[in-house]
Amino acid sequence: MFTDASTPKSADGTGESYEPASGLKVRFLLTFDDGPHHCTSRVLQTLAVNSVQDEIKAVFFVQTRHPEGGGSAAGRVILKQEHQEGHVLGLHTGTATGHISHTSLSRMELERSLENGKKDLAAIMHRSPLLVRPPYWRYNARSLECYGRHDLHMLLSDVKAYDGINWGAHVFRRWNFRSQLNRVRNESRHVARRDREETRPVVVTFHDTNAYTADNLAEYLSLLIDEAERLGLPLHTKPFFDQPSDVLDGALQCAVHNPVPTFHSGMCVTTG
């Protein structure tokens, strides 16, 4: 199923080749934003059974009170299904008005959103969530302080499908993954000098609200493997996380616990 990653392939049509990366074994930690949604069920089916690796577990950053998401009866059923199938639930929004940037909320509104979201997820998980991802990836000093008070760790990502922007077929999917994974590869080579035996979680972001993603997720998984091998990134024997505890541990390892953002007009917008 997986080809030997020790011999990197040259890039299609460019003749460019890559030296093998050393040390860290890459495992892809999949995350999905903006659900629950009617497309989420197809995502769950593909994660459970696909041609790449069955029983993949992911983090779902959810909108617990969106009237068409977690605020609906159907949405709550999907949230329970995600938890029952061993996926990790993280907080995206806890506001009934939906996908609103945390930086645009007042302090009181943000506190209420986090409190409500944690309460909603705790009712399903029987424990408080530990992960948060701000809408639009926008955060500032005030929102970071609020996350800390609520024992929430902000998880961004290493690789994005950009399917929250492009809602159809993305002609640059392969190049997009290759470019971002090459950055991961270069970073991993430096980290590997400190500990050559560690696993390197690579956080990948999708949107389970995107019908194209839901219908073509297996192809995305294959592209991640193909491009990692092309770049000579050493892959774990199971390149996607498949145990809930490992997913959470990997996410916390990658989470921004004490970030020092660069601010522009009082706001930090990261590219993950």
Indicate whether 261 pLDDT > 50.
Answer: no
Q: Which of 90-99, 128-137, 159-168 has the lowest mean pLDDT?
A: 159-168
pLDDT confidence tier of residue 15, bands split at 50, 70 and 90: very low
How many whole angstroms separate alpha carbon 143 and alpha carbon 8?
Answer: 42
Domain ranges of the chain: 25-269
**Over the chain, what is the mean pLDDT?**
85
Q: What pTM, to 2 d.p., does this model score?
A: 0.85
Q: How many CA atoms lie within 13 A of 102 on its CB side?
A: 30
Higher pLDDT: 63 or 15? It is: 63
Give the pLDDT confidence of 75-95 residue by residue, as tens digits: 999 999 999 999 999 999 999
Indicate whether 21 pLDDT > 60.
Answer: no
Determine contact, residues 17/8, Cβ cutoff 8 Å: yes
Q: What's the confidence (pLDDT) of residue 58? A: 99
Q: What percent of the chain has pLDDT over 90?
A: 72
Give the pLDDT confidence of 169-187 residue by residue, as tens digits: 665 688 889 999 999 988 8
Q: What's the confidence (pLDDT) of residue 130? A: 97
Q: What's the confidence (pLDDT) of residue 2? A: 35
Question: Spelled out in words, what is the top-level CATH class assigned to the domain 25-269?
Answer: alpha beta
Higher pLDDT: 85 or 256? It is: 85
